[in-house]
Structure 1
Amino acid sequence: MPLRRSLLVRLLATSVLIAVCSVAATTWLAARTTSSAIQQEQGQLLSSDTQIYDTLVGYAATHRDWTGVSPALRRLAERTGRRITLTTQGHRPLATSAVSVAALPTRASAVVDPLHTDAALLPGTAADRIDPRAVGPYRLTAAERKSLHIMAEKIRYCMGGPSGVGTLVEAPSGRTSLRFPDGMLGGTDKEYGCGADQLSAPVRSEIGPLTRLNSMVNDCLAQRNQQPVKVGLDFVLSVSGDTAAAQSCVDTARRDQLTPYVAPAALLYVTTPAGSTAAPGFRFTSANTARLAGVAGLVLLVTVAVTVVVGTRLVRPLRALADAARRPVQEHQRVPVTTNDEIGYLAAAFNDLAQRRERVEGRRKAMVSDVAHELRTPLSTIRGWLEAVQDGIATSDQALVDSLLEEALLLQHIVDDLQDLAEADAGQLRVHPEPLRVRDLLDQVATAHQARADTAGVSLTTRVDGDPELSGDPVRLRQVVGNLVSNALRHTPSGGTVTLRARRTGDQVAIEVADTGTGIPAEDLPRVFDRFWRAEKSRNRRTGGSGLGLAIVRRLTEAHGGTVTVASTVGAGTVFTVRLPV
């Protein structure tokens, strides 16, 4: 075989080409994308992400859902130049700054949840991680806000005169408080008696939610066998005992109380306008580029070495298959199956093909022998009588003519049977189905064989349950049932019974031919439908036909889409069952 046509050379050349292309492409892609991969692994975010996160957490803290967040997303996208998408935790889109939702990264940039804020994105977050803008039922009415603001102004004026002391600060709930300069504590008010303590007292809108909060906290503490506490508007406890457990109950109760007033947690995806999470600006240095090129060269070298080893091992069984295929057909060469891959499957298929070819060859030889044996007897008889007449030993009378005609008809019957089987084997056996009644079919077969049954002293009866109908070729089906009846009459002694039965079972019609004859041994049942096979080893046609009848029965039944089975007991009888689709 020329080297250029060798499978090994072509395999190696193809593998090396693929390896070179893949390594080159990988190197190029790595040089363009390694920057974003490194930044993503290290958890780095762009500076604009903090602004986006803070804005969306504030929105979630002041709204019960995300219905109207789209305008805010578009404004943020215009300021930051990023694409912003919000989805539920089940990855169902909620809103996006773009016209439509594009493909999203596998990992979200952050989880927007005002009740569990991210301290890394919101510096200065309280220990409970609850955003202070989530006030829920603690939001004051306009009248209460105004009243507290006036009170704070009066206290501030009282404590410092026209210039005042401290700064007025309004919380997200609308409550106004005084922020004092460094060094001035609550004792300052005791010196002036201005009533600053009144600013920390709950107003009417806060009394109900604060009462419910205390009830929830104390229920939690009771389950932990802790003493009850009283929670104020600052939601910070300073009690004896397990302070952490008490504060945990306060935080849990606050989250339960605020949940109906804030938007549900959402996944935040911040990407470039093109949909990538990569941040621009990273470039490889010359050293990094050289290092990447060295790694690529090493990968290429390893790929070529592995390809050589694998290709050599791959071609070895293929060469064994080629050598076996070139051997003469008579040798029926086999190849060892050494692998469990495609080559192993090919070797197993080759062995199976060789085995089937060997079986077919054996069957062909056996069939030629059987056909010669079957045709020899009638031809020998015809030749012998004709030579006897020619030599003047026998007289050509009517009896001799009838005998020769019977032998010719037998010879014609064998040839017709072989023709039917040949058409079936070639897939050219045609049936012409038409609606027919099974009762009429069995009656016609019984009538055709009644004279032979009377001569043999056998009772031939039919029994049909109901009136089943089917679609089939009446001529071929009469041939099927007729062959079975003929076979049954041949093996049933005088005084016996042959019964034709039919019934419908589901979407099939079952036709049974049962006899009370000699039966078939169990070891012979698998071969009853083989061609030229007879239970009588002597192959005597007086006790057995040509050996083709049952083979034709099976072929004609299969042509109708049905099946034929046999059950027999030696000395009791045999039942052949043909099942045909309605």
Structure 2
Amino acid sequence: MRHSLLVRLVASSVLIAVCSIVATAWLAARSTSGEIRQQQGQTLARDARVNDALLGYAASHPRWDGVEETVRELARQSGERVALATEGGALIADSAPGRPPLPARASAVVDPLAVDVSLVPGAATDRIDARAVGPFLLPGPERARLREEVDAQAACLRHQGWRATVAVGPGGRPYLRREGGPATSAPDAEHPGPPVSVASAASPPGSPSCSPDAPGPTTTEKRALDQLAALVRKCHGGRVEVWLDETGEPSAAPSAAECLAAARRAQLKPYVAPAALLYIGSPEDRTPAIDPYGIAGVTAVILVLAVGVSVLVATRLMRPMRAVTAAARRMRAGDGSARVTVRAKGEVGELGAAFNEMSEHLDRMEQQRKAMVSDVSHELRTPLSTIRGWLEATQDGVAELDPALTASLVEETMVLQHIIDDLQQLALADAGKLQLHPEPVDVADLLEQIATVHRAAAAGPALTVEVTGRPCLDADPVRLRQAVGNLLTNALRHTPAGGRVSLRAHGDADDVLIEVADTGPGIAPEHLPYVFGRFWRAEKSRSRQTGGSGLGLAIVRQLAEAHGGSAAVRSEPGRGATFVLRLPRRTKIRD
């Protein structure tokens, strides 16, 4: 199974698909996670700004009346829909009325008495917004009086060489900020130093002109402080001192911190807006979270599709290959007609066509081999039977071995020798061992010599030699004479009495062409591709008068190709045939 091409193709496709899908899913998830984290960070910062602005409004207003303008301004700045609703779901304000319903989940809870530390990281430990001062909010005259006192103290310190500034707390109380050491440069506006209690802002040593007294609580602050102290003592169950720090923030001993926070919430509740749900954006604006099950499901679907397509493609690819394999096995079993049906295009179609060509070639070669064996056996059997018959007759005393019989037996022996020599020559040519000895050859002289030798045998047809110019080439004269002689013998054999056989030669810049033309019956078009085949005869009678051994033209082609040339034939039935040898002037001996 593991050696099956189908299995390997499918496994390779699945592996590639799995790797691609996993890598793509991982990259997509990572990229999406990064974008989501970035978007969440931006959303958190935006939500924090909107929440802080609404906390400031709630800390300074006992009700949400009039918040619509603030909500619209925040929506314009953030580019998102901003809406407030009560904890019961009643709408307080909406920057885009008429839009789709509010999301099912609020972005935050706006409550100045219970600040969301995720949106306000610097919130106090009691989670009460510092801007919620309630009854500690100083009226204008008290602010002005305290400002005069603190400004005077700051001016005194600066006169003594100390860096001192005045800041204002959420309730309107001014307080002093200073840094130790004489001032050598202007105060740093960005880093003014830690706040210093007014009560502790006594004159430094050597500066008796600076009043050590700090502004005490105003009438408003005393009244609010007494109310707060009563609530703290009620919670704590004992006497607890409550005071204001330098910024006007109520303080108490650490043991009463929880009671102080609870008392402050109870005291501030009438002065701040009730808790409200904050909605930023619409339901469709919310970024969906990554669904690992959804990603896994999509990945599985894609993988199944990839596997299905891979199996389909591999199966379609394997079908013609299996057909080729089956045809090859039939051929091995002896079925020379084995072929495959070629329907596909591309490489698979080319494979099927190449197999069919190979099958046809092998079938043709097998038929030629069988015909060759039959022809060789027939050609050898005839002279051997003649020789054997006469020798047995002589041995039995039936015939007398006279000179005529001896000459006949010698002729039959020469026929055998000629066939064997031709077969040997073809075998040498096939093996690439045919030896050539090229030398300069005058083609005109060579053709005259060959024509002179064959004129005596050409009793019927006329034999002429036509040479244009004096073509010369480098060739083996013996082999060239043999090739032209075979062509001439074949032409004389098929030309009737009164016909004509012509030997012609002419040359061009690179080649010399030798033509042997006759006025015989010609060759049928369907026979032309097989003329130079071994033991091929257009006339199947095997008569000594009309057909030779069938090897002469095959030898001609081998000799021409050994010289680096070619042999060809053109003919029309009833108008004779012309055989052409094209030989290069400078022979390149074939290895």
Q: Where in structure 2 are the equivalents of 1:307-326 lying within 5 Å?
A: 307-326=310-329
**Alpha carbons of structure 1 residues 413 and 27: separation in structure 2 relative to 1, 3 Å:** same
Q: Where in structure 2 are the equivalents of 1:273-284 lying within 5 Å?
A: none
SS in 2 for 1:529: coil
Q: 2:355 — aligned with what?
A: 350
**Alpha carbons of structure 1 residues 353 and 391: separation in structure 2 relative to 1, 3 Å:** same
SS in 2 for 1:557: helix
Q: 1:360 — aligned with what?
A: 365
Unaligned 5+ runs, structure 2: 36-286, 586-591
For residues 467 and 32 of structure 2, the distance between their equivalents in structure 1, rounded to whole angstroms, comes to 83
Please state if 1:335 is matched with 2:340: yes
For residues 407 and 466 of structure 2, the distance between their equivalents in structure 1, rounded to whole angstroms, comes to 37
1:434 to partner: Cα distance:
3.4
More moved, 317-326 vs 536-545:
317-326
Q: Aligned AA for 1:361?
A: E
1:502 to partner: Cα distance:
0.8
1:293 to partner: Cα distance:
6.3
**Higher Cα radius of gyration:** 2
SS in 2 for 1:5: coil
**Alpha carbons of structure 1 residues 299 and 329: separation in structure 2 relative to 1, 3 Å:** same
1:17 to partner: Cα distance:
1.6
Contact between 1:31 and 1:289, CA under 8 Å: does it hold in 2?
no
Q: 1:487 — aligned with what?
A: 490
Please state if 1:443 is matched with 2:441: no
Q: 1:557 — aligned with what?
A: 560
Please state if 1:510 is matched with 2:513: yes
Superimposed CA distance per residue, residues 519-553 of structure 1 (whole angstroms, 9 cap, x where no aligned partner): 44556545433332334443211232222212221
For residues 326 and 19 of structure 2, the distance between their equivalents in structure 1, rounded to whole angstroms, comes to 35
1:304 to partner: Cα distance:
2.1
Contact between 1:382 and 1:404, CA under 8 Å: does it hold in 2?
yes
1:366 to partner: Cα distance:
1.5
Contact between 1:484 and 1:550, CA under 8 Å: does it hold in 2?
yes
For residues 439 and 313 of structure 2, the distance between their equivalents in structure 1, rounded to whole angstroms, comes to 61
SS in 1 for 2:457: helix
- The one of 6, 9, 12 equivalent to 1:11 is 9
Q: Aligned AA for 2:11?
A: A
1:309 to partner: Cα distance:
2.9
Q: Aligned AA for 2:546?
A: T
Q: Where in structure 2 are the equivalents of 1:144-223 lying within 5 Å?
A: none
For residues 348 and 442 of structure 1, the distance between their equivalents in structure 2, rounded to whole angstroms, comes to 46
For residues 383 and 356 of structure 2, the distance between their equivalents in structure 1, rounded to whole angstroms, comes to 42
Percent of aligned pairs with the same amino acid: 61
For residues 14 and 466 of structure 1, the distance between their equivalents in structure 2, rounded to whole angstroms, comes to 70
- The one of 372, 386, 390 equivalent to 2:391 is 386
Q: 2:106 — aligned with what?
A: none
**Alpha carbons of structure 1 residues 575 and 308: separation in structure 2 relative to 1, 3 Å:** closer
**Alpha carbons of structure 1 residues 31 and 423: separation in structure 2 relative to 1, 3 Å:** farther
1:446 to partner: Cα distance:
2.4
For residues 520 and 355 of structure 2, the distance between their equivalents in structure 1, rounded to whole angstroms, comes to 46
Q: Aligned AA for 1:17?
A: L
Please state if 1:401 is matched with 2:406: yes
Contact between 1:503 and 1:509, CA under 8 Å: does it hold in 2?
yes
Contact between 1:458 and 1:498, CA under 8 Å: does it hold in 2?
yes
SS in 2 for 1:512: strand
Alignment TM-score, normalising by the size of structure 2: 0.50
Q: Aligned AA for 1:25?
A: A
Q: Aligned AA for 2:464?
A: T
SS in 2 for 1:331: coil
Q: Aligned AA for 2:481?
A: R
Q: Where in structure 2 are the equivalents of 1:36-55 lying within 5 Å?
A: none
Superimposed CA distance per residue, residues 301-322 of structure 1 (whole angstroms, 9 cap, x where no aligned partner): 3222322333333334433433
Q: Where in structure 2 are the equivalents of 1:124-143 lying within 5 Å?
A: none
Superimposed CA distance per residue, residues 184-243 of structure 1 (whole angstroms, 9 cap, x where no aligned partner): xxxxxxxxxxxxxxxxxxxxxxxxxxxxxxxxxxxxxxxxxxxxxxxxxxxxxxxxxxxx
Q: Aligned AA for 2:506?
A: R
1:412 to partner: Cα distance:
0.9
Q: How many residues align?
A: 333
Q: Where in structure 2 are the equivalents of 1:509-528 lying within 5 Å?
A: 509-517=512-520, 519-520=522-523, 524-528=527-531
**Alpha carbons of structure 1 residues 471 and 329: separation in structure 2 relative to 1, 3 Å:** farther
Please state if 1:499 is matched with 2:497: no
**Alpha carbons of structure 1 residues 357 and 29: separation in structure 2 relative to 1, 3 Å:** same
For residues 13 and 523 of structure 1, the distance between their equivalents in structure 2, rounded to whole angstroms, comes to 52
SS in 2 for 1:452: coil
Q: 2:470 — aligned with what?
A: 467
SS in 1 for 2:344: coil
For residues 325 and 535 of structure 1, the distance between their equivalents in structure 2, rounded to whole angstroms, comes to 33
Please state if 1:576 is matched with 2:574: no
For residues 540 and 361 of structure 1, the distance between their equivalents in structure 2, rounded to whole angstroms, comes to 25
**Alpha carbons of structure 1 residues 300 and 441: separation in structure 2 relative to 1, 3 Å:** same
For residues 522 and 22 of structure 1, the distance between their equivalents in structure 2, rounded to whole angstroms, comes to 60
For residues 17 and 522 of structure 1, the distance between their equivalents in structure 2, rounded to whole angstroms, comes to 58
Q: Aligned AA for 1:371?
A: V
Please state if 1:371 is matched with 2:363: no
For residues 322 and 572 of structure 2, the distance between their equivalents in structure 1, rounded to whole angstroms, comes to 54
1:371 to partner: Cα distance:
1.4
For residues 570 and 356 of structure 1, the distance between their equivalents in structure 2, rounded to whole angstroms, comes to 27
1:575 to partner: Cα distance:
2.7
Q: Aligned AA for 1:474?
A: P
Q: Where in structure 2 are the equivalents of 1:452-463 lying within 5 Å?
A: 452-453=457-458, 456=459, 458-463=461-466
Q: 2:533 — aligned with what?
A: 530
Cα RMSD after superposing both structures: 3.4
Q: Aligned AA for 1:435?
A: P
SS in 1 for 2:456: helix
For residues 493 and 353 of structure 1, the distance between their equivalents in structure 2, rounded to whole angstroms, comes to 41
For residues 514 and 341 of structure 1, the distance between their equivalents in structure 2, rounded to whole angstroms, comes to 45
**Alpha carbons of structure 1 residues 543 and 339: separation in structure 2 relative to 1, 3 Å:** closer
**Alpha carbons of structure 1 residues 331 and 402: separation in structure 2 relative to 1, 3 Å:** same
For residues 528 and 15 of structure 2, the distance between their equivalents in structure 1, rounded to whole angstroms, comes to 61
For residues 423 and 439 of structure 2, the distance between their equivalents in structure 1, rounded to whole angstroms, comes to 26
**Alpha carbons of structure 1 residues 286 and 530: separation in structure 2 relative to 1, 3 Å:** same
For residues 567 and 338 of structure 1, the distance between their equivalents in structure 2, rounded to whole angstroms, comes to 36
Unaligned 5+ runs, structure 1: 38-283
Q: 2:421 — aligned with what?
A: 416
Alignment TM-score, normalising by the size of structure 1: 0.51
Q: 1:548 — aligned with what?
A: 551
**Alpha carbons of structure 1 residues 494 and 561: separation in structure 2 relative to 1, 3 Å:** same
SS in 2 for 1:503: strand
Q: Aligned AA for 1:340?
A: K
For residues 468 and 575 of structure 2, the distance between their equivalents in structure 1, rounded to whole angstroms, comes to 24
For residues 436 and 451 of structure 1, the distance between their equivalents in structure 2, rounded to whole angstroms, comes to 24
**Alpha carbons of structure 1 residues 363 and 36: separation in structure 2 relative to 1, 3 Å:** farther
